[in-house]
A and B are shown apart, each in its own frame.
Chain A
Amino acid sequence: MERAAAYENDLINLKATELRLGLPGTDESEKQSSRNNKRSSSEMDNSCEKDEQECAPAPKAQVVGWPPVRSYRKNVLHQKNESDLSGMFVKVSMDGAPYLRKIDLKVYKNYQDLLKALENMFKCSIGVYSEREGYNGSEFAPTYEDKDGDWMLVGDVPWDMFITSCKRLRIMKGSEAKGLGCL
């Protein structure tokens, strides 16, 4: 039984280091009925609440398995929602920039629009796309990560196909992008 005592100490220590809402010493389970209904705006708060909750990287924290929608259905609708008209935000990083930006791809009508906006946002010059040369000659080249996780050169596929498959953007230094353009 001394083993149990040792484990109990470990558990207490573990609990002491646990991040959670509430005063130290209050028990997790007692808080369940008093949990408030409102979603707190801070992702940090939600992630402290209960161990069992998995916090999705998405902006809204989600309880596992709630609401009770089957994965099959979620996947089908998710595919659909991606081509919905509710905005398509993707992260944009630029080599050398201290932080990332986010843009809504739905806002742009075509590649020209998008590249111009990127040039403005990051104060860089991207140049003109050509099928053979990519963005060769430009200081920067825009690339994107597609649904399969591959890094592609922006401009190869029709615009509509691009916006549904683009997961994030990366503006690469021209020197690094040379390889892509030569394919």
Chain B
Amino acid sequence: MAQSFPEDVLEHVFSFLNYDKDRNAVSLVCKSWYEIERLCRRRIFIGNCYAVSPEIVIRRFPDVRAVELKGKPHFADFNLVPEGWGGYVYPWIVSLARAYPWLEEIKLKRMVVTDESLELISKSFKNFKVLVLLSCEGFTTDGLASIAANCRNLRELDLGESEVEDLSGHWLSHFPDNCTSLVSLNISCLGSEVSFCALERLVARCPNLKTLRLNRAVPLEKLPNLLCRAPQLVELGTGVYSAEIQSDIFSNLAEAFLGCKQLKGLSGFWDVVPAYLPAMYSVCSRITSLNLSYATAQNPELVHFVSQCSNLQRLWVLDYIEDAGLEALAASCKDLHELRVFPSDPFDAEANVSLTEQGLVAVSEGCPKLQSVLYFCRQMSNAALVAIARSRPNMIRFRLCIIEPRAPDYLTLEPLDTGFGAIVENCKELRRLSMSGLLTDRVFEYIGTHAKKLEMLSIAFAGDSDLGLHHVLSGCESLRKLEIRDCPFGDKALLANATKLETMRSLWMSSCSVSFGACKLLGQKMPRLNVEVINERGPPDSGPESCPVEKLYVYRTIAGPRVDMPGFVWTMDEQVSSSLSRVTERRGD
């Protein structure tokens, strides 16, 4: 049947498939579908830049317009991945530049991007439109200047929360006067001041600008100038939200916001002066996404502002909202999908705010659509977790961080196994889970038994033995990413479930009890896995094989071992590891 359809008909049908999963499935049907599909695939997503090489990608997909790459493991966000580990995008850009002159989009996450890379991007792709750099590092504002100057059709420039070496704000002035194509600009991570005049002119000449996220250096008094020139904005990130209390500043601000009839998302709010929050009241009822996670406003002003946003779907906020604020949120924002509560003072053992498990329970019970939670707090109980699980069986992402490691149920002093067990048992669609508090092997038994749709699991300071890890690896059918730190998991579970690792994107284990010998064995047994040991204190073979490695990163790959590893990363590749251990017996080559 496959042969009877002309190729262009099939190609046309495939053009409606946007999800990678669908395209991958289609390409497995038969050889001719594989061929047709690969020639017409335009977007590729590579979740681990070391899982495949640029050459392999280009060979299979000759005409790609959009590439998305991820580099460092997630725990790099918390400084667990040493500097210089890898994730360099430059070799990719070089290959992409040669192969895809019509490339339009590059999206990178946790990668090292140099000015050289940015310049190469700006000069190689004539129709370049979208550059998104999330949590990246390695570039300066000079690199941004190249992008601004050379990308004639630039639609989107999003610097995410990247670490940019800020040499000057002058780069923005490199956008030529005839650049009118911008739809989205996010410079919120930049420290230094950009020329306000240049910014104003840029905003004024881009009629399609929908997203504008300013950096802290843009003063509040100037915000109305920008809003008046871009009343069509859908998403706004303010600059610093602080100024001396002056009535004309307030009235200008209020008037400007009044004109923004399309505004749906707000963020920014650095150094917020609560007296200026009411200037936004006219837009509150339309707001669906609110990021107040850098706003150090307290109650009652904070909760009063949030409660005005009756159509709120996503709220990111600091724990200044407190339980009382979350209760008010539960009463007024019935459309809430996602809640993230960040700690204002994460390193203080004592609570500086009155935010407990009660707040989360209130929101879970009051907001029927709540499906995504990230919550930092200082106490939790099994009862609360059970209540949350029962109220919200529709939960998809549940990340709970109890600040003190191994904190038990504060009411009963028991482990929180029952509570998290209830979460995985009731929330059958759960895709992502991060746990904390006192947890034994039992919670992993619950997870292995019930969490069949779980794709990503983060574990810290939990478990008693290898049995815990074994439950997860043997039970979680959909598991793709597993990251573990400071758990007493060792060799047995890892080696017994070696084949499972080929079905996952990656496994991270740091400060656990996996021995060097086990890592070597894993590397030898599983040629399609890269088993990388990170040991900053010295070569892993300078001690006995039973010595635990500091950090272990295992990922499936068809590209073989990395060639860009720094001195503190060792690969347990078959050939390499045998030379590493310098045993007298050599394997036959």
Q: Which residue of B lies closest to A5 (CB)?
A: B544
The reply on B4 being an interface residue by CB < 8 A is: no
Please report the C-alpha to C-alpha distance between residue A60 and residue B583 in the assembled complex, in whole angstroms. 45
Given contacts A32-B486, A50-B511, contact A69 B544 (CB under 8 A): no
Q: Which residue of A lies closest to B401 (CB)?
A: A67
Contact: A65 with B75, CB < 8 Å?
yes
Binds B, one of A73-81, A130-138, A141-149: A73-81
Contact of A70 among B78, B404, B460 (CB under 8 A): B78
The reply on B547 being an interface residue by CB < 8 A is: yes
The reply on B77 being an interface residue by CB < 8 A is: yes
Please report the C-alpha to C-alpha distance between residue A3 and residue B581 in the assembled complex, in whole angstroms. 10
Closest Cβ–Cβ distance, residue B309 to chain A (whole Å): 22
Contact: A72 with B79, CB < 8 Å?
no
Contact: A37 with B544, CB < 8 Å?
no
Closest Cβ–Cβ distance, residue B383 to chain A (whole Å): 20
CB proximity to B under 8 Å, residues A33-91: 33, 35, 37, 39, 50-52, 58, 60, 62-74, 76-77, 80-81, 84
Contact: A76 with B405, CB < 8 Å?
no
Contact of B77 among A11, A66, A68 (CB under 8 A): A68
Given contacts A37-B404, A70-B77, A71-B77, contact A65 B513 (CB under 8 A): no
Closest Cβ–Cβ distance, residue B402 to chain A (whole Å): 9
Contact: B376 with A67, CB < 8 Å?
yes
- Main DSSP-derived SS at the B contact region: loop
The reply on A18 being an interface residue by CB < 8 A is: no
Inter-chain contacts of B168 with A (CB < 8 A)? none
The reply on B504 being an interface residue by CB < 8 A is: no
Q: Which residue of A lies closest to B318 (CB)?
A: A77
Inter-chain contacts of A4 with B (CB < 8 A)? 544-545
Contact: B78 with A65, CB < 8 Å?
yes
Inter-chain contacts of A73 with B (CB < 8 A)? 161, 293-294, 342
Inter-chain contacts of A51 with B (CB < 8 A)? 537
Contact: B464 with A33, CB < 8 Å?
yes
The reply on B477 being an interface residue by CB < 8 A is: no
Given contacts A37-B405, A63-B405, contact A68 B543 (CB under 8 A): no
* Mask of A90-130 contacts with B, CB within 8 angstroms, 1/0: 00000000000000000000000000000000000000000
Please report the C-alpha to C-alpha distance between residue A148 and residue B340 in the assembled complex, in whole angstroms. 34
Closest Cβ–Cβ distance, residue B585 to chain A (whole Å): 10
Q: Which residue of A lies closest to B80 (CB)?
A: A65
Q: Which residue of B lies closest to A80 (CB)?
A: B296
Inter-chain contacts of A33 with B (CB < 8 A)? 464, 488
Inter-chain contacts of B511 with A (CB < 8 A)? 50, 52
Contact: B346 with A74, CB < 8 Å?
yes
Please report the C-alpha to C-alpha distance between residue A4 and residue B161 in the assembled complex, in whole angstroms. 46
Contact of B79 among A1, A10, A64 (CB under 8 A): A64
Contact: B161 with A60, CB < 8 Å?
no
Contact of A77 among B189, B294, B486, B487 (CB under 8 A): B294
The reply on A17 being an interface residue by CB < 8 A is: no
Contact: A8 with B488, CB < 8 Å?
no
Please report the C-alpha to C-alpha distance between residue A74 and residue B347 in the assembled complex, in whole angstroms. 10
Inter-chain contacts of B348 with A (CB < 8 A)? 60
Please report the C-alpha to C-alpha distance between residue A72 and residue B137 in the assembled complex, in whole angstroms. 11
Contact of A76 among B270, B349, B407, B490 (CB under 8 A): B270
* Mask of B159-171 contacts with A, CB within 8 angstroms, 1/0: 0010100000000
Please report the C-alpha to C-alpha distance between residue A1 and residue B584 in the assembled complex, in whole angstroms. 8
Inter-chain contacts of B343 with A (CB < 8 A)? 67, 69
The reply on B178 being an interface residue by CB < 8 A is: no
Q: Which residue of B lies closest to A64 (CB)?
A: B79
Closest Cβ–Cβ distance, residue A179 to chain B (whole Å): 32
Please tell me the number of chain A residues within 8 Å of chain B, measured between CB atoms. 36
Please report the C-alpha to C-alpha distance between residue A77 and residue B6 in the assembled complex, in whole angstroms. 60
Closest Cβ–Cβ distance, residue A69 to chain B (whole Å): 5
Q: Which residue of A lies closest to B163 (CB)?
A: A72
Inter-chain contacts of A3 with B (CB < 8 A)? 582
Q: Which residue of A lies closest to B345 (CB)?
A: A81
Closest Cβ–Cβ distance, residue B369 to chain A (whole Å): 26
Contact: A69 with B161, CB < 8 Å?
no
Inter-chain contacts of B401 with A (CB < 8 A)? 67-68
Closest Cβ–Cβ distance, residue B480 to chain A (whole Å): 19
Contact: A67 with B544, CB < 8 Å?
no
Contact of A66 among B405, B438, B488, B544 (CB under 8 A): B405
The reply on A159 being an interface residue by CB < 8 A is: no
Please report the C-alpha to C-alpha distance between residue A150 and residue B545 in the assembled complex, in whole angstroms. 49
Inter-chain contacts of A26 with B (CB < 8 A)? none
Closest Cβ–Cβ distance, residue A75 to chain B (whole Å): 9
The reply on B344 being an interface residue by CB < 8 A is: yes
Q: Which residue of B lies closest to A51 (CB)?
A: B537
Closest Cβ–Cβ distance, residue A77 to chain B (whole Å): 7
Q: Which residue of B lies closest to A8 (CB)?
A: B544
Given contacts A4-B544, A11-B544, A39-B349, contact A71 B79 (CB under 8 A): yes
The reply on B408 being an interface residue by CB < 8 A is: yes
The reply on B271 being an interface residue by CB < 8 A is: yes
Please report the C-alpha to C-alpha distance between residue A29 and residue B515 in the assembled complex, in whole angstroms. 12
Given contacts A65-B75, A66-B460, contact A77 B488 (CB under 8 A): no
Given contacts A66-B460, A76-B294, contact A60 B349 (CB under 8 A): yes
Contact: A67 with B346, CB < 8 Å?
yes
Contact: A7 with B542, CB < 8 Å?
yes
Please report the C-alpha to C-alpha distance between residue A3 and residue B580 in the assembled complex, in whole angstroms. 13
Please report the C-alpha to C-alpha distance between residue A52 and residue B487 in the assembled complex, in whole angstroms. 13
Please report the C-alpha to C-alpha distance between residue A143 and residue B75 in the assembled complex, in whole angstroms. 41
Contact: B78 with A68, CB < 8 Å?
yes
Please report the C-alpha to C-alpha distance between residue A68 and residue B24 in the assembled complex, in whole angstroms. 34
Please report the C-alpha to C-alpha distance between residue A37 and residue B437 in the assembled complex, in whole angstroms. 10
Given contacts A37-B404, A66-B405, contact A11 B346 (CB under 8 A): no
Contact: A7 with B544, CB < 8 Å?
yes
The reply on B548 being an interface residue by CB < 8 A is: yes
- Could you list 13 examples of A-B contacts with CB < 8 Å? A11-B544, A29-B548, A37-B408, A52-B550, A64-B79, A64-B80, A65-B485, A66-B405, A67-B401, A72-B161, A76-B270, A77-B296, A80-B296
Question: Contacts A37-B404, A65-B485, A77-B344 given; 6 further ones with Cβ under 8 A?
Answer: A4-B544, A11-B543, A60-B347, A67-B401, A68-B434, A69-B78
Q: 3 shortest A-B CB distances, which residue pairs?
A: A65-B78, A72-B161, A11-B543
Mark B residues whose CB is within 8 Å of A: 75, 77-80, 135, 161, 163, 189, 270-271, 293-294, 296, 342-349, 376, 401, 403-408, 434, 438, 460, 464, 485-488, 490, 510-511, 513, 537, 542-545, 547-548, 550, 582-584
